[in-house]
Chains A and B, each alone.
Chain A
């Protein structure tokens, strides 16, 4: 793999990694006991309950 490609790979992961971890942390920490998104289709809410 070319050096430029390796650098591009690393650069992408250095950007995407923290974004993905932040999204995960947010999602896990704000995980509701019961579903709160009332815009979800009713069938999804029923399934979750």
Chain B
């Protein structure tokens, strides 16, 4: 059996990876949504400029 400290480290890593992973994944999805929104806005502005 491993030492108490090493077991605590494994448990902390498991929860840490889960919580940080969730935060990073959610952030990446929201960032991609914002990126697409900005691209659509830019295309809309470009279309407006071309029309004028």
A binds B: no
